Amino acid sequence: MKLSVILGSLLFTTSILAAPRSRSSRLAERVARRAATRTRGSQPLIPLGSGTKEGPDGEISNVQYSGNWAGAVIESPPAGSTFNAVSAQFNVPSASPPSGASRSGSYSASAWAGIDGDTYGNAILQSGIDFTVSGSGEQSFDAWYEWYPDYAYDFSNFPMSVGDTISVSIVSTSASAGKVTLENLSTGHTASESLTAPSSSSHLGGQNAEWIVEDFEEGSSEVALANFGTVTFTDCVAKTSGGESLGPSSGTIIEIEQNGEVLTDVSDGGSTVTVTYA
């Protein structure tokens, strides 16, 4: 009798240890690990070359290929001015594992707006969200801000769900100071942060304004890119120190290319940028 009780207890304990972790516990572990390591970061555009592409209306657009960015970049402000504000709205996408993904893998991408990082690579003032999906289809989201070359920092208490509308605003008050604001228009949650340049060599140049989906870095390498479906940036505006407002149609389309394959399909028009996982 005593032996059977002991064996039953051992079997019960083993079943507890072998029980799968809940979704909330896995998410909590990932968030804690991300906060402890502080290794998530965006990188300046990795240029791979340029070309042209034909849009659905037959219009020919110039395209720049990149290893990590997809979207649109205005690569220079009007003469005598600098970019000092960038804003947009976009919906939280539903991400899925890419074709051939491992069920034990993790796949991510980010959507953000920012100042600098293309032709001017010393700094990027930016904010946006990351979307991550496991190989089994479990999704999670993070809201963050960053002044590159510092790492990204997460906003706390900024819940998101697929389909929520996110508003992002980036404002530089000087070359070494700025403010970022994220608002979930679907829930009413708002987060903002005032930042200063992490070093004297990382002041803003105000030379680029962008709306980007990125294959960002975690640790020292890019994350495995998720199939993010489509991210559409709307109400895209870049403002200058001269009081002018420009849209993405005055910029350059950027496509992600990895291992010789173009992974995105980007279009812009007026105040909209659409980035589709191809």
Residues labelled as active-site residues = 214
- CA dist., res. 34 & res. 233, Å (int): 26
Both tokens of 52, joined, read 């042209």
As a whole number of angstroms, the distance between CA 180 and CA 185 comes to 16
Report DSSP letters for 124-190, one per residue. Answer: EEEEEEEEEEETT--EEEEEEEEEETSPPEEPSS----TT-EEEEEEEEEETTEEEEEEEETTT--E
Measured CA to CA, the distance from residue 74 to residue 275 in angstroms comes to: 16
At residue 126, what is the residue type?
Q
Q: Which of 210, 235, 221, 214 is nearest to 277 (CA)?
A: 214
Q: What are phi and psi of 17, to 5 degrees?
A: -65, -30
User: Residue 112: which of 29, 45, 174 has the closest Cα?
Assistant: 45
DSSP per-residue string spanning 209-225: EEEEEE--EETTEEPPB
* 37 to 32, 183, 207: CA distances (angstroms): 9, 26, 31
8 A C-beta contact, residue 219 and residue 240: no
> What is d(CA 177, CA 21) in angstroms, rounded to the nearest whole number?
43
